[in-house]
Amino acid sequence: MAAILRDGGRATDTVARYGGEEFVILLPGSDPAAAHIKAERYRQLIEAMPDKPGVTASFGVAVYPQHAADGRELIQAADSALYESKRGGRNRVSLAWRLASADVTDAV
């Protein structure tokens, strides 16, 4: 799975293990739609691994600055989206829905 994540991206993308079974994939310059599409491609590649039948992946996608005002909020937004994927039945991609706190403040 790590090879799929590492080899499936652009030269500017960064893949890092974030926790036990969690990875972070940084996609510089990607908008929410492009990031969602990329995560869905990764999900499909993982699901189709011939040597690991039954292995699936859930993804949470968040984009700066649409979903977060800083790095901490970006991780929180992606984590919330990941748990939405898990609650929704796993093996899916969920996009963060919350606005960055700066956007919320500006809207009031």
Query: Tokens 């036990």 belong to which residue?
Result: 20
CA 49 to chain centroid: 19
Backbone angles phi, psi at 20, to 5 degrees: -45, -65
Catalytic residue check, 21: yes
Q: Which of these is catalytic: 21, 40, 47, 73?
A: 21
| C-alpha to C-alpha distance for 56 and 100, rounded to whole angstroms | 30
CA 39 to chain centroid: 6
Instruction: Write out the catalytic residue numbers.
Output: 21
